[in-house]
Amino acid sequence: MSRGTGWAQPAEWAELPEGPLLTVLDQLEWGRRESAAVRRMCSRWRRIHDGGRRTLSLSVRATDDAVVALCARMTALTEVNLSHSKSLTDEGLRAVAELKSLTVLDIGQCSLVTDEGLKLVAGLPLLTELILFECHLVTDQGVRAVAEPKSLTCLNIGRCDVTDEGVRAAAELPSLSELNLYGCSNVTDAGLRHLHALKELSFLSLTYCDTSKAAEEELRRQIPGLYIEHFRVARELR
């Protein structure tokens, strides 16, 4: 069946001005298949595609080589998800550290990421959300590094090797509204006292932390409206 005169030919699509083309591309659901199809159109579409991408999700597929290559091409990224990667290392984070527009970084369950890698991304000026859940090699030192820029509003360090000193470092983030300490069994009442000054804090997970009800109630009095999530183990309920 003939397409007729109402259908745009490939050459017409390729010659669209950059503004309208970006508007069209912004409407796509950016999966791997869609990205690959757009990039195959022509070198101009490839350049516009890479320069206009704002989100990247590699998750399990993230390797250092892949992250280095993609970050070099997609320099305007604002959200990056590299979670659940068993091969991502600090070297991959070195490339992420060049993304100066980045606001959200998820490297949860990246078991090879260390404090040294966090020192690399600590200089990102616009980073507001950082997910480090189950990064077991991350310690108080890493939390201290990422707390330096003071821009974070959401920090997830659940199941990291964090103590009250890490909580003290997180407490230096003046705009922090969400803090996840799930499974940080070395966090105690002394760590909670560091949080009293965080008046913007609205959510705090203390599940499986070694904190008492009394210390949690005192924190609620200091920060009205704070929601504390704490599912206690059976021995605590007796």
Per DSSP, the three-state class of 163 is strand
- What's the predicted TM-score (pTM) here? 0.81
227-230, Cβ contacts within 8 angstroms, sequence gap of 24 or more: 227/202, 227/203, 228/204, 229/203, 229/204, 229/205, 230/205, 230/206
Q: What is the pLDDT of residues 64-110, one digit of tens each?
A: 999 999 999 899 999 999 999 999 999 999 999 999 999 999 999 99
Strand pairing report for 227-229 and 203-205: parallel
For the chain, count helices (H), then strands (E): 12, 8
Q: What is the mean pLDDT of residues 178-203?
A: 98
Which DSSP symbol is given to 186?
Answer: B
Alpha-carbon separation of residue 86 from 6, 43, 46, 89 (angstroms): 50, 33, 29, 9
Q: How many Cβ atoms sit within 10 Å of the Cβ of residue 110?
A: 29
Q: How many Cβ atoms sit within 10 Å of the Cβ of residue 171?
A: 20
pLDDT at 191 over 50: yes
Share of the chain above pLDDT 70, in %: 75
